[in-house]
Chains A and B, each alone.
Chain A
Amino acid sequence: MEATSLPAASTAPPSPIWRELLGNYGLPWAVILGIVGYIVGHWVGVRITVDVQAQVETDQNDVAIFLGMIFAIFGWLGGLGFFSYPISRMLGRPPSHSEREDHGPWRYLRLCTDHKVVGIQYLVAVIFFFFVAGFNAMMIRSELTSANATLVNAGNYLTLVGLHGTMMLMMMSAGVLGPLGNYLVPLMIGSRRMAFPRIEALTLWLTVLAGFILLSAILLGGFPTGWTGYAPLADQARGGIDAYLVSFFLIGLALILVGTNVLTTVITMRAPGMTWNRIPIFVWGLAATSVLAVLAAPVLAAAIIMVGLDRTVDTSFFQAPEGGSPFLWDNLFWFFGHPEVYILALPGFGIVLEILPVFARKPLWGYRLAVAGMSGVALMSFMVWQHHLFVSGINANLRPFYMFTTELISIPTGVIFLNGMGTLWRARIRYTVPMLFALSFFFNFLIGGLSGVFLSDVPSDVTTHGSYFVMAHFHYTIMGGLVFALMGGVYYWVPKMTGWKLNEALGKLHFWTMFVFFNLTFFPLFAAGLLGMPRRVTNYNASLHTLNVFVSIMAFCLGASMLIFLVNLVWSLVFKREPAGANPWESKGLEWMVPSPPPVHNFDSIPVIAGLPYTYGMPDAPAVASLGPPRVAVPEGGAA
């Protein structure tokens, strides 16, 4: 939304003729230009490497695939209209913040710079890819019901594992920053929009494209490396690895941009009165995550560029005989890898600590401690990455150091429990669905955290490294931690985002089935790991057969419980549509003082913040912000 007092505002000339003929930028054009881009890029790639013997013999020309995908990316972004702004800037027109936005449902399939539209688009995209990856998980578990490769042949199984892992992590790293971050940060800090609305829309469309490019790995023959993409195997794999690399690169790029966007918004666009210690804890969680995203994702991008060069122009970054080294990928990937898993965990902390006070009817206990905890986690997550490499033979003399830093990082992570316990002390708990998810977060993350202490201890890590123990650990921290918190966030904020309530009974059914079957699925896998079952294998020794069959059945029930969530979403938001009102949870947050769904400009006039939104049990405390007079026909100017 622009002030009419822009220096060189020029009235818009009538749309050019071709625009009328071809219709508007949007998803249809993006898909068409994306596919055309791939075909052209592939054709050009084949022409360029017609004499490169290595590319010809593989029947799948990596140069052509990479070029095809790069052209497809430009086609996709061009089709959505992302190049119109840079071109107009290069022609000297002044910066503007909003694309031509029109309302109506079609704005969800088009480049729209309203942060609320992007938030909902993100939510739909993340949930869609979450279910695609979840379906892969069901296939993995059905393969593991038998002790050797029966359902899926061994080669395809690795692609299955790779797709499940990569897509889950791709979607979950933008899983909270994207939907809840973009939607709620402006509402919670009293601003009308994010710092860079156009970049915000770009991150959404890059994430969606990355998801589909990763799925295209199936058409290119799959990839055997799993989400970690270890080095010489990545150099050696078929075409599917190119899809993995390009999609992970796009996600890295989207992470940098969404991190910059959220952090800049929090730094510059807070409403007057919102000092640093009045920022809601959820926004602090996202700010800490953004710092990690901005600094860690470039290292992943660099590592991916290196593998890309290895596969196309025959450099030898990771080829030991040629002066490279596989250890380089280990170090670069895990230098990004560990901040990545905290990019996954911190938003979960933020959501839980935001929901807890509302349903415990008590202020957040130890707000500054929570903020210090999150910042501590963000800072230290760059110093622990070699605990993934305890047995890899890299600088054994640093083992004690990395054991120490990994143990050290469990202090700020443990602070979250103190905040939770303090907030629940003599509270008045209401067991609504969001609260159930928040409480179960503590239960799951406790088991995840303690198993992490086992793994950070080198002697114990020798047996558990690369086994199902590790797999159970990170499912407890990511699914038990982040996904439970995200579900709580969805149940808590969807009434605000859509204006309609989510069905309480279905919600509780979904919670209890998800909680019970999640624990029954992943707790036995700690035992499987300790009993010697390596990760990502199709066959295991017979003694583990009954355990795996039990876990598979529990996993199918977990899948069924996720379907209940889907049914609840579709039933409550598409069919029943029971209005939720502005503040269904009686919360004191700023976002609950505007109608739901909030109007396009969020606040009639920029509010003045009076304090933290956790003034429960303080009857005389002022409301978190004074919103100023409602917008009348002609507003008497800007902020109060």
Chain B
Amino acid sequence: MSASVPSDRLGQPADAEPDEHHLANVRIGVRLLSSGVVFLFMAFTFAFWYLRELNSNHDFHPANVNPPQGYGIAILVCVIATAIVFRRARSELAADHEQFWRPTAIAGLALGCVTFVLQIVEYLELPFKTASGGFASVFWGWTVVFIAVWLAALYWMETMVAETLRRVSTDGPAVPVEAADACLVFLYTLAGIEIVGYIFLYLVK
């Protein structure tokens, strides 16, 4: 599908300034959506502490239900690494080092994909199924929703990488730095959520 030729429908030449708001909108929009996502995971966090405290029928966390610590750490590290690598890529972009921005951004995207794959593999190797108590439910609920939201982050990084690779004109940065900043805000939010999730899913007994 080709990008439509931006012409005003009534044949009048388009106005000159609609684009100036785009980056400001993305900046505000990502902060709003990130706070929405934080509330989404706050609901799961509340579910964990609430069910743990109630521990109805002493079946919240049966002894044999233990998440694989190895995968937990691996996913945590990958999520944080994605954020750090992409932050590095952003500073390259800001410093107009086009040649460093490209590989670092691709590395960030790759790390994101690794995180996704790791989570899927963890599901296959998971010792407990969904029907083993409140903790297992919260574990599955949290990780499934996190991976779904993580896909949105991957999509965003992918669009920036694709836009860089496809560049036609060479003046100015491949991707507006503000767009990279906005994506970073989203990545920081998800990294923070993953840290909180890691603590109560893997460490708290």
Contacts and interface: CB of A to CB of B under 8 A. Distances in A.
A426 interface: no
Choose among A263, A267, A605 the residue with the greatest number of B CB atoms under 10 Å from its CB.
A267
Contacts, number: 240
Interface stretch (B55-63, B66-74, B77-85, B93-101): B55-63
B151 to A, nearest CB: 12
B203 interface: no
Contacts of B32: 259-260, 263-264, 294
Interface string A1-41: 11111111111110000000000000000000000000000
Interface string B143-171: 01100000000010011001111111101
Contacts of B19: 2-3, 6, 97
Contacts of A305: 141, 144-145
Interface string B163-201: 111111101100000000000000000000000000000
Nearest to B57: A321
Interface in A164-211: 191-193, 195-196
Contacts of A84: 1
Interface stretch (A507-515, A562-570, A632-640): A632-640
A94 to B, nearest CB: 7
Q: Is the interface of A mostly helix, strand, loop or mixed?
A: loop
Nearest to A336: B43
B167 to A, nearest CB: 7
Contacts of A546: none
A294 B51 contact: no
Given A2-B19, A4-B14, A323-B134, A267 B6 contact: no
B134 A324 contact: yes
Contacts of A599: 10
B201 to A, nearest CB: 14
Contact of B1 (A87, A294, A303): A87
A3 B29 contact: no
A506 interface: no
B205 interface: no
Given A8-B169, A90-B162, A601-B12, A315 B56 contact: no
Count class of interface residues, chain A: 35 or more
A638 B2 contact: no
A313 interface: yes
Given A92-B165, A260-B36, A267 B131 contact: no
Interface stretch (A325-333, A343-351, A470-478): A325-333
A10 B1 CA distance: 12
Interface string A587-608: 0000000000001110001100
A316 B50 contact: no
A97 B18 contact: yes
B36 A96 contact: no
Interface residues of B, number: 73
Given A268-B21, A309-B141, A332-B46, A637 B59 contact: no
Contact of A317 (B12, B47, B59): B47
Interface in A312-367: 313-317, 320-325, 327-328, 331-332, 335
Nearest to B58: A323
A302 B40 contact: yes
Interface string A288-307: 00000011111101110110
B6 A103 contact: no
Contacts of B168: 8, 10
A156 interface: no
A600 to B, nearest CB: 6
Contact of B28 (A4, A264, A315, A321): A264
A634 B13 CA distance: 8
A358 to B, nearest CB: 29
Interface string A51-62: 000000000000
A10 B44 CA distance: 45
A388 B59 CA distance: 28
A332 B45 CA distance: 11
Contacts of A268: 21, 24-25, 28
A605 B15 CA distance: 8
Contacts of B46: 331-332
A195 B25 contact: yes
B27 to A, nearest CB: 8
Nearest to B162: A92
Contacts of A618: none
Nearest to B24: A268
Contact of A299 (B16, B39, B60, B138): B39
A102 interface: yes
B14 to A, nearest CB: 4
Contacts of A228: none
Nearest to B62: A323
A89 interface: yes
Given A295-B36, A601-B8, A322 B140 contact: no
Choose among B57, B145, B158, B169 the residue with the greatest number of A CB atoms under 10 Å from its CB.
B57
A327 B54 contact: yes
Contact of A600 (B8, B25, B129, B134): B8
Interface of B: 1-10, 12-19, 21-22, 24-25, 28-29, 32-33, 35-37, 39-44, 46-47, 50-51, 54-57, 59-62, 129-131, 133-138, 140-141, 144-145, 155, 158-159, 162-169, 171-172
7 contacts: A1-B14, A3-B17, A5-B16, A193-B18, A305-B144, A306-B137, A309-B144
The 9 closest A-B pairs by CB, nearest first: A2-B6, A92-B166, A323-B134, A302-B43, A315-B137, A92-B162, A638-B16, A84-B1, A323-B59
Given A90-B159, A260-B32, 7 more contacts: A7-B172, A92-B162, A299-B43, A316-B137, A323-B133, A328-B47, A328-B50
